[in-house]
Structure 1
Amino acid sequence: MSDETYTLKDHDLEPNTIYYWWVRTENACGHGSWSIVRFFRSACPIPLAPPRLRSPGDQQTGVELKPEFIWEPVDGAMKYTIEISTDEKFEYLVKKTTVDTLYYVLLQDLLPGTEYHWHVRAENECGASKEWSATWSFTTTPKGILSAPELLYPENGILINELNPEFYWKPVPGAANYRIQISKSPDFGTYEEHVTEKNYWKCTEEKEGKCAPLDPDTRYFWRVRAEDEDGTILGEWSSGHFNTCPTLSPPSFGSPPDKTDVKLNPILSWEPVDGATKYTVQVSRDSYFLSIDITRISNINELPLTDLEKNKTYYWRVRAERGTCIGEWSATWSFRIVDEVVGSGGETTTPAHSDSKTEPTEPPFQDEIPVFQILGFIADILIIGFLLMILVKVLKK
């Protein structure tokens, strides 16, 4: 080139980068020596915009003592610096730190009932932006105030079947313990009270001492509040109520009698239960009901059965229900399907649909013990023996 200046036109320099350069002269006879080496640094990109703050909100009150500070990203930013102060001029900083995320969480508690100010600025390879975000302020929750827990179970107004339910609620920030009260009176004139570190509680005599299952068919009121470790800072109560199911007695059997032979398609019947609106019947060839052949719901106190196998013994049981309320299972009765049933006078009856083909039949109904039942007894004995061995080892220690 013949000019005394040169402008880079077709090459983009990397931002914030040091470059070195020199020059030498040339003519028809050759070229001269290189000049002294000089260097320069390329400019930084367009200045970074200030971040937009998100949380805690400006002028927000009741902020927890370890809040999470959140802001929106800035194009080109590599990291962010946050300042937290008790004064608007940021002369008395509580915290100043630089992070590469869009949030920051304090590791130590702020002072309760105190106003704080905070702002953020972006940084890139050229350094920190000169422009801070807007300054937002917030006030931490006052000492002595803990929010009321949100009750989870039993849900308000629900009808529950269990008489020893587990009570659940959402944890409260800053709480060390929870006090739960259960009463039959809406004003909690008398109540049962317990304290727990967890956000749930269930009556366990070994741990709680005095506590008893709930009464059936009863409305209960319950409330929970959060407390600090010393019990000097008490939160607000949150209250709810629920009802327990009425007692549904196990049904008494009617027909067929226990351990009898019956023809195909028998009709099971039982005594009605006061308060029941429906019944669930289970039929199985397993006296433990580990596998169920039939499960049916009946709105009356009887149930016809079909498609049963000949020469097989079946066990059955029934329970009463009312809405979501479920009673205990009845005792287990059994019957056997046969071709002929011996009557009270010694005569036999044969189903009208029987043909000339006969199948091998079991002997008259006996108090036989199935193989799987024997195996169950053996398993129980082995488990008891194993537990006794552990107990002996513990006592020897």
Structure 2
Amino acid sequence: MFAKKRTVIILMLLPLLVLAACDGGFGGGGECNLADFVAPSNTSPAAGDIILEYEPMFVWAYSGDCEPPGGWQAEVTTYGGYDFGVTQTNTSSPAVVFTVFDMPLEPATQYEWRAAARTEAGELGPYSMSTSFWTGPICETAALNAPMQFTPDDGGIVDNEFPPMGWNYPDGCIPELTLLQLDTDPAFPGPNLVGGLGGPRIGQIPLAALDDCTQYHWRVRSENPDGVGPWSPVRSFYTDFLGGCPTPVLATCDTADLIAPANDFPTAGDVGVELEPLFDWHYPDDCTPEGYRIDVTTFGGYDFGETYSGGTGNPSTEWFVGEPLEPATQYEWRAAGINGTTLGPYSTSTSFWTGPICETASLMAPVQNGPANGSRVDNPFPPLSWSYPGECIPELTLLELDVDPAFPGPNLIAAGGLGAPRIGQIPADALLDCTEYHWRVRSENPDGAGPYSPTWSFITDFTGACSVGPAPSSAPMASAPQNLNCREGDSTAYEVTGFFLQGESAEIVGRNQQGDWIVIPKKTNGGNCWVSTGLVNLDPLVNLNELSVIIPPPLPEPTPTPTQLPVANPFAVTSVSVSVDDDNFAGSCPHRFTFAATIEVNGPGTVEYKWLRNDGATAPPQTLVFTSAGSQQVTSTWDLGASGQRYDDFWKQIEIIAPNSVLSNQAYFSLACK
């Protein structure tokens, strides 16, 4: 089944449709009653079509002897039922046997549609046969991925002689063909117990009733006429129609033969996952491990992020974290089989976002992190990074990169820059040297978009020999002459939420009504950073009166605190410094950098601290106990690097949270990967 672009066909049909409307178009031409109605016949889209446009014309034919007095009702729904799917309904006049629905269809989605004649009172005659079709785009053959199976459960028991096998396509595109195999032998020697090769679909049942008390195996792959994608994992299920079959027992895998599980939920790129998800996976073999280990971490690495780890203690393939995840946060997870204390290979790490999803009307501009506006980069694939302000995430994000600040195109980001929410992306191809680039980003939902971030620029200078300079920036800028606190609002009564470090520059996004506090993007974890105007250096061109007025959040309610007697020399951190073991490494990657922080205090007590990184990642808070005045050292590592990449001016530092607020120096390093 090949894609059919219906636009030309419909344009050819239009004159005929208009002529039919002028001539009556129906045998006899008279009006008729409900009992006289017959079912229309769907013409376009036809069954199995792949439509490459999202606002197609729906056309039907009518063989009745008279004209329906109330015209027609047409319905299109996501595949699965008109009462259950997302359904649109249109009506048209008696002589018009076609319609275009108001809302565009979603890409890579299976739909079905039908039409019926109407009386003047709105009563409907028999519907046409429901016709299923798909919207494109069609996947490039080289980009075909394995479909994602979801039913029956791997290793599950079914009581249905015709169990449906269901799957999804993972990439926002669909193949032209799909091959499904079902067999009692996991090597699939045949015969195939299902129809096998056909058009794209999300499920299929066996050709004939299955045998009772039998184990079956199935797999599925995407195909195009010029090539095929990889197979999905092999899944199995056991038939037990009356509940009287012997319980199937899978053998325990040999420890040396453990393989990686396959993650089922959350799936890669899921957006809006609930805060207490049930993690689900399957083991693609005819044996099972004794149990499983599961890791869930904030995106960025299992050794550095806030990581939850646990085990099933048995062959169960489901697991809860045990406490709610953070909202509007990107996580990744993995699972591994375990026998005794020996761990098998991990599944592919799968990234997802927790909800809630932002209402379209409340979408805000993402906060850019880097490359800094006006900076120079020596990497032909510089990562562009940002974060989302607020406590929600968009369904989509558009990133634009261009040599022209008006962004006429082409967009230098893959797939036109539009994709799922993410906190960074690299260009599709290596950038040119000695060239100025401009970039911006915005949040989107299917029904609307938020505002763009400011337009930032950077210059590529791979060898340090470029003479090109940045174009003059019209963005209002501020710089920090010393380390400054970021606060939640325009007063020192608000809590400190971060830092504006000495030497840093940032674009001013607004001010308070009086103009004595300005707002800049907060680099770590997104949001606003409020800084006193009198403590920063303003660009000479900044006009405070032209800045947007931002209303700060309500002041926190003061809480009563007991009066305490003065204490001589209260416990405090008196100094903190950070160093890195190798500040300039060239060689094989990834490479591990080790950071050492020396914390000095004036007496006994407990210090709370956390590690910070230049990419915005923040480690969980940790504590260090001192029994007397003096110093102790803590360490942290960072595994970084990919073949052929350079990383310059990366850093780590420590933030002391308690007993007093102190920020260490930044330990810089550079990395050149071979």
User: Given the two structures, how large is their TM-score scaled by the length of structure 2?
Assistant: 0.16
Relative contact order, higher structure (CA 8 A, sep 6+): 1
Instruction: Please identify the structure whose Cα radius of gyration is greater.
Output: 1
Q: By percentage of residues, which structure has more strand?
A: 2
User: Given the two structures, how large is their TM-score scaled by the length of structure 1?
Assistant: 0.26
